[in-house]
Structure 1
Amino acid sequence: MPTIKRYNVSKGFSLLELLIVILIISMVYFLGFEGVEIGKQKPKALTPLNLKSNIISSELYSGEGTLLCIDQCRSCYFRPDLSSPFGEYTSPVDLTNIQAYTLDSYEALTPIEYGRYQDQQICLIMDFFKNGSSTQIILKNSEESYFLPAFFGEPQRFSTPEEAKKYWLRNTTLASDSGAFY
């Protein structure tokens, strides 16, 4: 009588094969995506051109606040309201050697002397208010000057503080004359 041979045909993977596949996939994942944080953006360094937008979009800002910078604007502190103490601003700061200017009552460009904080010279104080405005100011570093508007518009870059002053005065005149036609 003939014998019938049966062959066991497995239709799946063994446990060992599955473990090897999982190990290979996890190694590729960890080597390929090392250092990538999904869903988290690294904060941009605080510069004169993005100062207002970075502060308003930061987690520290809750409708109003004050930014204070010392140590030739290498270290900054922020307080969310007048009754709170200043806390360290931990995001990167690129405001080194900034000099702040304002216009006095005679429309003369005047450097601002803020005083001292933690026994170091303050180089910048900027207030942010609930209505979306901020301190209007001209900032100058070794290369360029910047006009930071109080309300509307984007910060502008200029080669000298005098050019920024002309822009400030021109925009002030335009804003004050805007109701002349009503």
Structure 2
Amino acid sequence: MNKGFSLLELLIVILIVSMVYFLGFEGVEIGKKKPKALTPLNLKSNIISSELFKGEGTLLCIDQCRTCYFRSDVSSPFEAYTNPIDLTNIQAYTLDRYDALTRIEYGRYQDQKICLIMDFFKNGSSTQIILKNDEESYFLPAFFGDPQKFSTPEEAKEYWLKNSTLASDSGAFY
């Protein structure tokens, strides 16, 4: 009498192992990172590390910042930004020449209102801007430092002005 597994028993084991494997590892891609959603706090780092960025470019968002486009230089057309986006209901602000907080009105693209335009440059700088969504406000610096989160746009404005003063007074130490 030979002891062993029948063909049916082997097929059942293979089926069970296959089901466990596919159910347990569904959606997992080994060796490939999924891009993080574009948020105000990681906007600059995500754009600079994306495959679309080639040293400089412009990000343009429409449809209440649910749809974004990117172009690598002024002469190239905008291409759809296909990575996830979490910028819904973003409002952009800047400081005018009197240091007053001013909401930016960009105009239209593809017959929809533009909610955000940011430029990224070869030297690592970008458009300095304050962004506000339903919950919080964010200061995105042009050069150095990380984006900061604040409760209101006015707090972000104070941070902007404080950092501008520190940068302009840096020569006083020499």
Q: What is the CA distance between 1:43 and its match in structure 2?
A: 1.3
Q: What is the CA distance between 1:117 and its match in structure 2?
A: 0.3
Q: Which residue of 1 aligns with 2:162?
A: 170
Q: Which residue of 2 aligns with 1:58?
A: 50
- 2:114 paired residue among 122, 145, 156: 122
Q: Which residue of 2 aligns with 1:111?
A: 103
**113-122 vs 20-29, which deviates more?**
20-29
Tell me the secondary structure at the aligned position of residue 45 of structure 2. Answer: helix
| Deviations 1:33-86, CA, capped at 9 Å, x for gaps | 222110112211111111111111111111111000011111100001111100
Identity %: 85
Q: What is the CA distance between 1:23 and its match in structure 2?
A: 6.3
Tell me the secondary structure at the aligned position of residue 180 of structure 1. Answer: helix
Residues 1:88 and 2:80 aligned together: yes
Q: What is the CA distance between 1:32 and its match in structure 2?
A: 3.0
Larger radius of gyration: 1
CA RMSD of aligned residues (A): 2.1
Equivalent AA in structure 2 for residue 131 of structure 1: N
Give unmatched runs, 5+ long, in structure 1.
1-8
TM-score, length of structure 1 as denominator length: 0.86
Q: How does 1:143-154 map to 2 (within 5 A)?
A: 143-154=135-146
Residues 1:43 and 2:14 aligned together: no
Equivalent AA in structure 2 for residue 124 of structure 1: L
In 2: Cα distance, 1:126 partner to 1:92 partner: 17
